């Protein structure tokens, strides 16, 4: 169980010097092939932005633009599709004969800050299943409406993301015709979150091919927006699996300063739960790291940083001006590298990440502007 910290100033930076020497097994090889066979699959763009390279004093900067992934405005469809596929195949193999499933349907249940829930709902609709999605306070009404438009039942929870997860899990416990498709893990619930993480491997396989196509080699730094840490776990799995003969990439996680559960846990070297506040980075508004992700984050991340809503908003505006439509969560990666590579103490942080004027950076823009719309006052 993670310790609960109700009031603790969020740290702003953490570095782990030994992260690039840590290794782990790779993701399954068949994930990319599964996604490539789906309708509407196409690799998302990897856009080079020379003006950002000049600003950050590095060689090349690329942004992985996840604003349209399998017809949805965020990367989450990769994990949800693989996990739902594996879950339904397993249930079919067990030939569940419960009377509640006489119509051949199950209910896919999840909690979400927006993107994951819509992806689960889309898969349920495509495959003729039902979906029930729990959303916490702070999720934009347009994001909740987009989930409902996928023919899902949407339940709004009077609490934060962790409370929505508890409600979703309780819903499944009460019904044998329901299954939880959650992108965070806790003791006793790790198999399906593990499949979700595996699904994200396709994103990194695409990056490898796209960098090779422009003779950019392996990245020197990958910046990853972080909520519970599942995408960061997938990044660690990819870049720490020992499959590349080049020097391993430095990995930087980026969180809102109002929901820095991973950064605080890394600082304390133990998983903790922090009380979250309001943030326009709604998809990152998570206070508890996934138990499945935690060992990978602890051992495989080079650094973690927290950014403000203002940092993210400026980054989103700048990316839009450069032709990359990025929501607040996706723009967090640019806000994070700016915070790490510029300002007071930048030379120390650059050294911790082993970055120089010839380095190649990859920023993961995990959502488009339609994923979690910002409130007008922001």
The answer to whether the beta carbons of residues 272 and 4 sit under 8 Å apart is yes
pLDDT at 38: 93
140 is written with which tokens?
């934009």
Which pTM value belongs to this model? 0.92
Contacts of 309 (CB under 8 A, 6+ apart): 256, 258, 279, 280, 281, 328, 378
Round to whole Å and give the CA distance between 106 and 124: 9
- Within a 10 A sphere around the Cβ of 324, how many other Cβ atoms? 22
Q: What is the pLDDT of residue 230?
A: 96
DSSP code string of 166-220? HHHHHHHHT-TTEEE--SS-BTTB-HHHHHHHHHTHHHHHHHHHHHHHTT--S-S
Q: Pairing mode, if any, of strands 178-180 and 130-135?
A: unpaired
Supply the Cα-derived Rg of the chain in whole angstroms. Answer: 19
Nearest to 14 by CA among 276, 343, 357, 260: 260
In angstroms, the CA 362 to CA 360 distance is 7
Cβ(339)–Cβ(278) below 8 Å: no
Q: Beta strand 107-111 with 13-15: parallel, antiparallel or unpaired? A: unpaired
Predicted local distance difference test score (pLDDT) of residue 114: 83
Residue whose structure tokens are 């409370």:
163
pLDDT, averaged per 10 consecutive residues of the chain (378 residues), comes to: 56 93 95 94 98 98 97 95 95 59 80 92 95 92 93 95 94 92 94 97 97 96 97 97 76 96 96 92 92 97 97 98 97 98 97 97 95 50
Phi-psi category of residue 73: left, alpha or beta, with phi > 0 → left and psi -120 to 50 → alpha: alpha
First to last CA, the chain: 36
């Amino acid at each position: 169980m993670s310790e609960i910290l109700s009031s603790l100033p969020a740290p702003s930076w953490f570095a782990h010097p030994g992260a690039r020497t840590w290794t782990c097994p790779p993701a399954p090889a068949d994930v990319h092939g599964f996604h490539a066979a789906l309708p509407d699959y196409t690799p998302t763009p990897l856009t080079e932005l020379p003006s950002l390279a000049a600003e950050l004093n590095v060689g090349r900067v690329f942004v992985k633009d996840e604003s349209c992934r399998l017809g949805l405005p965020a990367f989450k469809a990769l994990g949800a599709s693989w996990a739902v596929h594996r879950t339904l195949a397993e249930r079919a193999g067990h030939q569940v004969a419960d009377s509640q499933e006489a119509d051949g349907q199950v209910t896919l249940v999840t909690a979400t800050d927006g993107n994951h829930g819509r992806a689960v709902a889309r898969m349920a609709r495509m495959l003729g299943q039902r979906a029930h999605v729990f959303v916490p306070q702070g999720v934009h009404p347009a994001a909740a409406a987009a989930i409902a438009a996928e023919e899902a039942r949407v339940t709004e929870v009077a609490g934060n993301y962790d409370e929505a997860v508890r409600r979703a899990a309780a819903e499944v416990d009460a019904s044998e015709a329901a299954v939880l498709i959650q992108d965070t893990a806790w003791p006793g619930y790790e198999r399906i979150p593990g499949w979700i993480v595996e699904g994200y491997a396709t994103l990194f396989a695409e990056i490898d091919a796209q960098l090779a196509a422009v003779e950019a080699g392996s990245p020197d730094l990958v910046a990853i927006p972080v909520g519970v840490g599942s995408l960061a776990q997938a990044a660690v799995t990819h870049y720490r699996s020992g499959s590349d003969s080049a020097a391993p990439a430095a990995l930087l996680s980026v969180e809102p300063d109002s929901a820095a559960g991973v950064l605080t846990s890394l600082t304390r070297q133990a998983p903790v739960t922090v009380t979250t506040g309001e943030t326009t980075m709604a998809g990152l508004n998570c206070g508890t790291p996934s138990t499945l992700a935690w060992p990978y984050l602890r051992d495989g991340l080079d650094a973690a940083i927290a950014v403000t809503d203002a940092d993210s908003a400026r980054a989103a505006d700048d990316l839009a001006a450069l032709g990359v439509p990025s929501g607040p969560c996706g723009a967090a990666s640019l806000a994070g590298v700016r915070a790490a590579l510029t300002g007071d103490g930048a030379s120390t942080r650059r050294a911790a990440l082993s970055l120089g004027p010839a380095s190649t950076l990859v920023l993961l823009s995990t959502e488009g502007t339609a994923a979690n719309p910002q409130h007008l006052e922001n």
